[in-house]
Amino acid sequence: MTDTEIIRAILQGEKEKYRLLMEKYQPLVFRTCLGFVHYKDDADDLTQEVFIQAYQSLSAFKGESAFSTWLYRIAINASLNRIRHSKKKSILQYFKNISGVEKDPEEIFLYEAPENPEEILIRKEHSDWLGKALDSLPESQRKAIVLSKYDDLPQKEIAEIMNISEGAVEALIQRAKKNLREKLSSDSKKMINSVGKK
């Protein structure tokens, strides 16, 4: 059953068929959201929000692009909206996470199970370090780099999602990488000690 057939069935009242679309696209949406928010719990919340939003707007999907492209756009917009409208909450959450008050460290850190508390702290710092650098990028660069690095999408697909040319995507990614390196370098001495010299 193709995506279009599933969508048609849902619009005709077979709500249960929406499960098929979610099973297929959940990892994609989750990864994209994670690329913007960096915390698993936040990415889970956003993924849920994206699928509810997509369901309610399903009749607006005209099939002119792939369903995944449409879904990527919703995920990106939802993620950026979340970041824009909950700055205060994010800052509060950040400090709560640092203090370890609300979350289990196992949930916070994004690496495989850490071995000791020191390792936990280092990995947390690494995650925040990268997250802050990505957040500092202009939105268009952030979109391009997240779709490239987190979703491993080719430039052609990124161009379609962002509705720009492939050349523009390449330029955005190059600028994003350059800015990211500069941003990461400015606060990197402590971080890179964990990576051995070549």
Partner 1 sequence: MNCKLCQENLDAYLEGILPSDMKTQLESHIKECEACNQMYRIQVLADRVIGSEKELEPDPFLITRVMAKIGNREISGYRSVDIFTRILRPALMTLSLAAAVFLGIMIGNLSLPYNNTRIIPAELAMIDDASLESVDNLSNE
Binding site for partner 1 (CB under 8 A): 10-13, 15-16, 18-19, 22-23, 26-27, 30-31, 34-35, 38, 40, 43-44, 47-48, 51-52, 55-60, 110-112, 123, 126-127, 129-130, 133, 149-150, 177, 180-181, 184-185, 188, 191-192, 194-198
Measured from the CB atom, the residue of 52 and 98 that comes closer to partner 1 is 52
Min CB(140)–partner 1 separation in Å? 19
Measured from the CB atom, the residue of 74 and 133 that comes closer to partner 1 is 133
Question: Which positions ≥6 away from 144 have C-beta within 8 Å?
Answer: 158, 162, 169, 172, 173, 176
Min CB(111)–partner 1 separation in Å? 4
Q: Taking a C-beta distance cutoff of 8 angstroms, is the pair 145, 176 a contact?
A: yes
Q: What does 88-124 look like in DSSP terms, one character per residue?
A: HHHHHHHHHHHHTSSS-HHHH--SSPPSSHHHHHHHH
Q: Taking a C-beta distance cutoff of 8 angstroms, is the pair 10, 18 a contact?
A: yes
Rounded to 5 degrees, φ, ψ at 9 are -65, -40
Measured from the CB atom, the residue of 80 and 184 that comes closer to partner 1 is 184
Query: Which letter does DSSP use for residue 137 in this model?
Result: S
Distance CA 191, CA 186 (A): 11
Q: Taking a C-beta distance cutoff of 8 angstroms, is the pair 127, 94 a contact?
A: no
Measured from the CB atom, the residue of 34 and 120 that comes closer to partner 1 is 34
Min CB(61)–partner 1 separation in Å? 10
Min CB(162)–partner 1 separation in Å? 20
Measured from the CB atom, the residue of 13 and 117 that comes closer to partner 1 is 13
Min CB(135)–partner 1 separation in Å? 14
